[in-house]
Every structure is written in C-alpha cells, then in structure tokens.
Amino acid sequence: MSDVTVPLNTRFAVTFTALQDVLLALNGPGHYIRELQVTRSLHGLGVTVNPIEQLVEQFEMHRKAHSEFAQHCVRDERFDAQIEASMSDLETLEMASLVERLVLSQEIATKCLDEFARSEKVAEASQKETATHEPT
C-alpha cells in the first residue's frame, strides 16, 4: 500500500458480493474468515476469486485515483502561484508604465509653465518698451 492518506469519510464503490462475503465471514465462525485468508494466497495462482482480494484491489484503485487527484491539486496550486507571480509582475510593469507617464506629463507641464513664464516676461518687456516710447 502507498503512503497516500485517504480521508476517513471517503466513499467509493466496491463489489457487493465481495463485501457481503467478508462481512458474513467476520460475523460467522472463526474458520470462515481464516478460509478467506488462506484462499487469498491462492488468488495469485488463479484458483479462485477471493472477496478479500477483490476489496483490497478496489481500495488500492481508489487510493491510486485519490493520489493522482491530490498530485493534480498540488500541480494546480503551483500553477496558481505562477499565475499570481505573473500578475504581480504585470502589475509592477503597469505601475512602472504609469510612473513613466506621470514623469513625462510632469516634464511637459514644467516646459509649458516655463514657456508661459517666458511669454509673460516678453509681454511685460513689450509693455514697458511701449510705455517708454509713447508720447506723454
């Protein structure tokens, strides 16, 4: 048996007759269950279908399926972590892009203010020159 832990409340299908045979043997005289245990060793030789062996095989199939599902979930969690990291990287890039645009906008605004200040100085100088050349 593998090391995979299957939750205790897990249900899975088993062969009704195999379960019935094992339960009857467990509740009957002691030699019934011992017969099943002995004939279980003969199952590998193809002598008989043993209900204990059927239940064990069905349990192992369920355990294997549960293990594969658990591994799939772990892979999904890793994939989710990769997606989150990618989203974080994307958000960082978007933030950097916004900061670059903000800096560029600030530079443009500064140039506009400088140009406005120069045009005001030119206008003031022009008014002074006009005022000095006017006849009084």
Tokens of 134: 């006017």
**From CA 52, how far away is CA 63, in angstroms rounded?**
16
pLDDT at 43: 58
pLDDT tens-digit series, residues 70-91 = 676 666 666 677 777 777 777 7
Q: Which helix (H) or strand (E) holds 103?
A: helix 51-133
What's the pLDDT tens digit per position in 4-41?
566 666 777 788 888 888 888 889 888 888 888 888 77
Q: What's the whole-model pTM score?
A: 0.45
**Pairwise CA distance, residues 81 & 55, whole Å:** 39
Q: Give 104-122 pLDDT, tens digit per residue.
A: 888 888 888 888 888 888 8
